[in-house]
């Protein structure tokens, strides 16, 4: 753990899954979509695609978009209201994505999945086939869990958060790299926002009980997952032979810098 290694080999990776968390694309004060930041991400993602790399996006933010559309100021406590916000917000979020990507002539696709889609052999193969064809066509697929009918993410069970979903998607498409964007710089020995002695971890080669215990102390202020779900995602990715990086989503250009092999965030080495 925490061994600094040469990351220049990452430049050769062609297929990448990028998970954009709620905290990355929403305003912390309101929970509503941060249009300025999202526009920058769209430009960066399109430019990565223009470099002949294949990009799959797992995007949160539907509930926040739905809250704004429905005039709900606080994050709803009732499950049914949260699901309604998600249903409205997913349409809103995809409309925003569509408009922004269209400015750069980049075609996108929407795929909503549930736990059963990933675990059922038939639907898993169908999803895999669709994603593979979309990537061949130069499309950027945008995935999210279908919260309107699935409560897994909302209730944050073993499957239901977009961190782990992104790892399953990376495995599904045979990605070479998974990037999780969050609201801190990477993994620390403790939550750096409450413990000034927390030490940054540059690289993880093996996930053990000690590391998992460290992760439990770091929570997200906005999203459904914390560092524990990201470490769980890393375990899925590493076992599938996929490198994963946890990095701060506040700086948009962390994505291309990571793909250039620059030492940003915490690398989980497969």
**Intervals of the chain under pLDDT 50:** 153-154, 156-158, 221-224
- pTM of the model as a whole: 0.91
pLDDT of residue 114: 84
pLDDT of residue 196: 87
Q: Which of 214, 86, 108, 208 is nearest to 155 (CA)?
A: 86
The answer for 50, left when phi > 0, alpha when psi is -120 to 50, beta otherwise, is alpha
144-187 confidence digits (pLDDT tens): 988 767 655 445 444 557 899 999 999 999 999 999 999 889 99
Q: Can you spell out the DSSP letters for 130-188?
A: HHHHHHHTT-EEEEEE-TTT--HHHHT-SS-SHHHHHHHHHHHHT-SEEEEEESSSSEE
Domain ranges of the chain: 8-268
- Do 23 and 220 form a contact (C-beta atoms < 8 A)? yes
Q: Checking DSSP bridges between strand 266-268 and strand 203-204, what pairing results, if any? A: parallel
pLDDT of residue 51: 96
pLDDT of residue 162: 86
pLDDT of residue 4: 83
Query: What residue spans of 216-263 are helical by DSSP H?
Result: 227-239, 254-259
219-242 confidence digits (pLDDT tens): 554 444 578 899 999 999 999 999
**Of all residues in the chain, what percent carry a pLDDT higher than 90?**
63
CATH number for the region 8-268 comes to 3.40.1160.10
pLDDT of residue 212: 85
pLDDT of residue 152: 53
Q: Checking DSSP bridges between strand 140-145 and strand 177-182, what pairing results, if any? A: unpaired
């Amino acid at each position: 753990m925490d061994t600094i290694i040469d990351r220049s080999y990452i430049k050769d990776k062609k297929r990448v899954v990028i998970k954009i968390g709620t905290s990355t694309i929403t305003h912390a004060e309101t929970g509503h979509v941060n249009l300025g930041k999202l526009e920058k991400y769209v430009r960066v993602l399109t430019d990565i695609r223009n470099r002949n790399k294949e990009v799959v996006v797992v995007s949160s933010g539907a509930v926040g978009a739905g809250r704004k559309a429905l005039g709900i100021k606080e994050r709803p406590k009732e499950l049914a209201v949260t699901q309604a916000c998600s249903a409205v917000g997913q349409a809103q979020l995809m409309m925003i994505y569509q408009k922004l990507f269209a400015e750069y002539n980049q075609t996108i696709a929407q795929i909503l999945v549930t736990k059963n889609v990933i675990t059922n052999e038939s639907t898993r193969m169908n999803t895999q086939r669709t994603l593979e064809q979309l990537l061949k066509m130069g499309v950027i697929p945008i995935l999210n869990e279908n919260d309107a009918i699935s409560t897994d993410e909302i209730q944050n069970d073993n499957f239901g958060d977009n961190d782990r979903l992104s790892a399953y998607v990376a495995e599904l498409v045979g990605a070479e790299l998974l990037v999780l964007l969050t609201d801190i710089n990477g993994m620390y020995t403790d939550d750096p926002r409450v413990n000034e002695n927390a030490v940054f971890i540059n690289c993880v080669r093996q996930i053990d009980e000690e590391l998992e215990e460290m992760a439990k102390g770091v929570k997200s202020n906005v999203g459904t997952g914390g560092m524990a779900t990201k470490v769980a995602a890393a375990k899925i990715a590493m076992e599938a032979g996929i490198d994963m990086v946890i990095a701060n989503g506040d700086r948009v250009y962390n994505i291309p810098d990571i793909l250039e092999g620059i030492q940003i965030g915490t690398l989980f080495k497969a």
